[in-house]
A and B are shown apart, each in its own frame.
Chain A
């Protein structure tokens, strides 16, 4: 391993305080000045053998001169080796028996699962139009999620949307479809209903918009109906879950279904698990349909980012650096800025994207 050092070492600054190292993959220049704690990730990559030769040589030259860092690197390797050598234990055989015997789709649970699926399709969408072209649309999905295997003694995963049962509805294939709401309809009127149908333009009405009678109204269709220029703020879809106890399985379902990562680490004591993602308008219906699958609570759809900021800030909490996606940073021009992993900071304005936020109702 010393061969490459002779040839490449001289390309690197020699001083321990001035090691420059290329971080793996990104090509970003990382100042590896100082000691190992300041470039932990490079030390791990070194142990993995994934560093480019030049970087490796730079680190080696530091380790040559710094016995403390050398010791810490050795320690890393030793602990890793110690744990890697721990044999994997076989699970007790009773588990296999219990797991495979358990009710599941294909056995008695199938009927239940199908009922649960059907009930999820009883979706309700309501919309209204508040002041000054501020369109607020709430998409309430009845979210009856009947977990086939409730945990002993605990409430199962049944989650009910704030708006309860509508009629058995709609086809099964469509994205989220809209149905007239039940008691929530009372807050609206037929006259208002026409506002949406007539493709509202920028207006100062303070009308509350009725749920549309158009059962096929989709979120993207609704977005299309927004007057030009009203998207100064990024449209935001809020999906709320009951605040009391967000079952981590629901969270894992959202993660699995959407591929999103929660802003809060799953399993943290803070129940306000939140997802945020920037989604192309053209994909929003598909996403909302997906989110209907796990049987989540209520979709709230607002077009003003500013409505979201305080609540999301309260959800995000103290350690934004821990989040894979950081959303709802006010951007220039009234839009949103969001850090998407692996991309630049972007301002979410009128670029054809919608910010989707999934949070507990406590985050509102």
Chain B
């Protein structure tokens, strides 16, 4: 059983009001969590339209089933599980027929077919450089999900573990490997990630405190449920 109880959930009171039919409370829940949910879907799927659909589907499901939320996990954890599941469902449905891949390869070469799905999105819409976006999409779904939760959305390892239903150690291992793989992909793409493998400057191995990382809500006034778990 999880340790995070309803009592410590910053959303508890709003959820309670929403359950009683308070539409304002529903709006508030949406405002508090939709940005994170949407960005999770966006970075996993790489397409704003798909991400919008998935986010919408997940929130509708969550709000329709608020009664089944029993408070064993934080609301945000519960909600993100639903978003995560919606993302996985979507990518399963979307997964192209292998034949399509083969045809695309013939038309555009293997590189062309890989880039194809994300190529319609401009950086302005996406908020992410094409190189980083593409590198992210080449990671395995598992790695991408973990790194999106932990690095992009700032969730603590413990809460990411709870959302994904794996051990915290598994999360850490995935984060480490996903970052390393992403760095390799970026270097391959000529991205300016400094190659520091041969640096000897001791001062570059500074220890970051949790405060040095930006966990503050970055948009939309979204409360960051990971804050107090990160340092715990």
Contact = CB atoms under 8 A, between A and B. Distances in A.
B77 to A, nearest CB: 8
Contacts of A261: 162, 165-166
Contacts of B210: 48-50
Contact of B206 (A1, A91, A102, A277): A1
Interface in A27-80: 40-41, 43-44, 46-50, 56, 60, 63-64, 67-68, 70-80
Given A88-B219, A96-B34, A266 B214 contact: no
A105 B207 contact: no
Contacts of B179: 75-76, 79-80
A161 interface: no
A17 B189 CA distance: 35
A84 interface: yes
A85 B51 CA distance: 20
A92 B175 CA distance: 29
Interface stretch (B55-63, B97-105, B109-117): B55-63
Given A77-B208, A79-B182, A248-B85, A90 B220 contact: yes
B176 A44 contact: yes
Nearest to A261: B165
Interface stretch (A212-220, A249-257, A330-338): A249-257
A324 interface: yes
B65 A253 contact: yes
Contacts of B132: 82-83, 86
A130 interface: no
Interface string A330-359: 000000000001000000000000000000
Interface residues of B, number: 99
Nearest to B195: A71
Given A49-B209, A64-B202, A88-B220, A100 B30 contact: yes
A286 B55 CA distance: 33
B166 A87 contact: no
B8 interface: no
Nearest to A148: B64
Given A40-B177, A95-B34, A96-B34, A259 B73 contact: yes
Contacts of A256: 68-70, 72-73, 78, 81
A91 B64 contact: no
The secondary structure that dominates the A interface is helix
Nearest to B72: A259
* Interface bin, chain A: 35 or more
B107 interface: no
A101 to B, nearest CB: 10
B142 A265 contact: yes
B32 to A, nearest CB: 12
A220 B73 CA distance: 26
B30 A99 contact: yes
Contacts of A47: 207-208
Given A88-B36, A95-B38, A100-B30, A106 B127 contact: no
A48 B212 CA distance: 9
Contacts of B39: 88-89
A56 B64 CA distance: 48
A79 B70 CA distance: 37
B72 to A, nearest CB: 4
A102 B81 contact: no
B214 A84 contact: yes
B66 interface: yes
The residue among A90, A99, A113, A265 with the most chain B CB atoms within 10 A of its own CB is A99
Contacts of B196: 70-71, 74-75, 78
B52 interface: yes
Interface in B144-175: 147, 151-154, 157, 162, 164-167, 169-170, 172-173, 175
B127 A87 contact: yes
B165 A290 contact: no
Given A87-B219, A91-B52, A248-B89, A259 B1 contact: yes
13 contacts: A67-B198, A70-B205, A74-B194, A87-B219, A91-B38, A95-B56, A96-B31, A113-B67, A252-B78, A259-B72, A266-B164, A290-B70, A324-B166
Given A70-B199, A74-B199, A99-B34, 10 more contacts: A40-B172, A50-B210, A70-B205, A79-B151, A83-B147, A94-B52, A99-B59, A259-B73, A262-B165, A277-B1
Q: Kindly list the 9 A-B residue pairs having the minimum CB-CB distance in the complex, ordered from nearest.
A: A267-B88, A71-B197, A91-B38, A248-B85, A83-B151, A259-B72, A74-B196, A40-B176, A106-B21
Interface of A: 1, 40-41, 43-44, 46-50, 56, 60, 63-64, 67-68, 70-80, 82-92, 94-96, 98-100, 102-106, 109, 113, 147-149, 151, 248-249, 251-253, 255-262, 265-267, 269, 277, 290, 293-294, 322, 324, 341
